[in-house]
Structure 1
């Protein structure tokens, strides 16, 4: 296994890192094998990183045959779109190393949890936008996520349904002049519209696997209902699972990522990694 931590950007505004979990090929029978890579993007409301949404997820993805990596992106206080630039640069770094890591560069999957799901979706929305080109030096194809795996993601900035802390942490520090420039570039009336995923879905958005729970107390299920509906309207490949039981931030939903008292384990939700793999492998040419 290639297990190392790399700097994502040389920008003084970013301390983002990428930690790899790259599976070994076997010279006698799989020397040329290319695997898809799952880039794990933990949640935490853009204020911290959810500990249970990191290595346990990467190792689970390894067990299903995927390379994996974990992105630690810029947290609040940040200047938008720094975290988005971190995600874009991380994808570009993976593509740059695809040859030496035996990664299929057409099968890079962003697996985002909660706020990490929001960040993954932002890149899904804007990887091919002129707006993002103004902030990074990579080409659109270098930063393109091929697929998304979204676990209880923050989606909307609608005040009735949003996770307000996440929204404030990602846009709260942006100067008014910069916000106006971004809104004009994207044809939006406010930064809340800019970071509302469901308002920015285009035909460029990647195919997405999404799961959530009806009993999520922090990020209402309406977030993913809005997203799934927006993807349906645009004809984007999407598989959506809404489980009945389960708190927010279940991670694997198993004993592996449960709290010491056993909470945050929900047996009906433990199937999501296998459901994701089945969905991914069922997509033509995936």
Structure 2
């Protein structure tokens, strides 16, 4: 299993976005070529950890990548810029997708099976690329959308809306204090993903817990409703009990006993089965 650090260089100046002080990086967790297995193009998943756009949670990063690799998926963790306004992190994720697609042969990846996965605020980032990949915000900078298009997106207890059910900390870090409580501002509307879904949004896998008291489940319900309205294929799992931030929901990622939840932990096998079925 190979792991290295790859700096990425988004076109911030071209997008008229201030360059962050630190560089976002990709950390691959890869299955190497095996003579025994032979030529095999694998699906790839880019993981965006959560953390309220304030930090990147380690619990939702390397352990998830290693688990994916163990299920035959080439994994990449995006350590994206936090406490930076939209669309800073979105430019970083788009650049990461373009990089992986351009180097698909190097990493034994099927370029038509590249998904983005996110947890909490990281799910907002993954969802942002899913809805914005073919909008002028990105296509004018990347010379079109196909190179940055995720073939699917995987949202784990996602932050979705800047409206009534918003996770205020995430939205505040994303748009700034002056916009965070204005539901009708163009800035907050832009980051309310349920309002940005279109017929071009790729297939989605989503899970959440119904009693999440940090990011209300209404975030997921709003998004699923928008996907259904536009005819976008999705698989969703809403578990009745479970705290926010469960990650793998087992001893691997739990920092306390209450974060071990075997029922919620079923999401991972369901997700990898969905990936290997071709995101359907």
After TM superposition, the score normalised by the length of structure 1 is: 0.89
More displaced stretch, 125-134 vs 214-223:
125-134
The question of whether the paired residues in 2 share the 8 Å contact of 1:92 and 1:138 is answered with: no
User: Using a 3 Å threshold, how does the CA distance of structure 1 residues 138 and 90 change in structure 2: closer, same or farther?
Assistant: farther
Secondary structure of 1:98's counterpart equals coil
d(CA) in 1 for partners of 2:177, 2:221: 29
Secondary structure of 2:91's counterpart equals helix
Using the TM superposition, give the Cα deviation of residue 138 of structure 1 relative to its aligned residue in structure 2, in angstroms: 5.0
**TM alignment of 1:168-207, pairs within 5 A:** 168-172=172-176, 190-207=186-203
2:270 to 267, 275, 281: 275
Using the TM superposition, give the Cα deviation of residue 48 of structure 1 relative to its aligned residue in structure 2, in angstroms: 0.5
The question of whether the paired residues in 2 share the 8 Å contact of 1:67 and 1:103 is answered with: yes
Q: Are 1:239 and 2:235 matched, yes or no?
A: yes
Q: Are 1:146 and 2:151 matched, yes or no?
A: yes
Q: Are 1:38 and 2:45 matched, yes or no?
A: yes
Q: Deviations over 1:7-28 (max 9, x none)?
A: 1116571411000111112124
d(CA) in 2 for partners of 1:73, 1:128: 21
The question of whether the paired residues in 2 share the 8 Å contact of 1:80 and 1:174 is answered with: no
User: Using a 3 Å threshold, how does the CA distance of structure 1 residues 194 and 255 change in structure 2: closer, same or farther?
Assistant: same
User: Using a 3 Å threshold, how does the CA distance of structure 1 residues 173 and 98 change in structure 2: closer, same or farther?
Assistant: farther
Q: Deviations over 1:41-83 (max 9, x none)?
A: 000000101120000000110111100010011111x232111
Secondary structure of 1:217's counterpart equals coil
Using the TM superposition, give the Cα deviation of residue 173 of structure 1 relative to its aligned residue in structure 2, in angstroms: 7.5
**TM alignment of 1:68-147, pairs within 5 A:** 68-76=75-83, 78-134=84-140, 136-147=141-152
Unmatched tracts of structure 2, length 5 or more: 13-17
Unmatched tracts of structure 1, length 5 or more: 176-187
d(CA) in 2 for partners of 1:113, 1:241: 14
Provide the aligned length of Structure 1 versus Structure 2: 268
Aligned position for 2:15: none
Secondary structure of 1:132's counterpart equals helix
Using the TM superposition, give the Cα deviation of residue 174 of structure 1 relative to its aligned residue in structure 2, in angstroms: 9.3
Aligned position for 1:17: 25
Q: Are 1:212 and 2:212 matched, yes or no?
A: no
Using the TM superposition, give the Cα deviation of residue 189 of structure 1 relative to its aligned residue in structure 2, in angstroms: 5.3
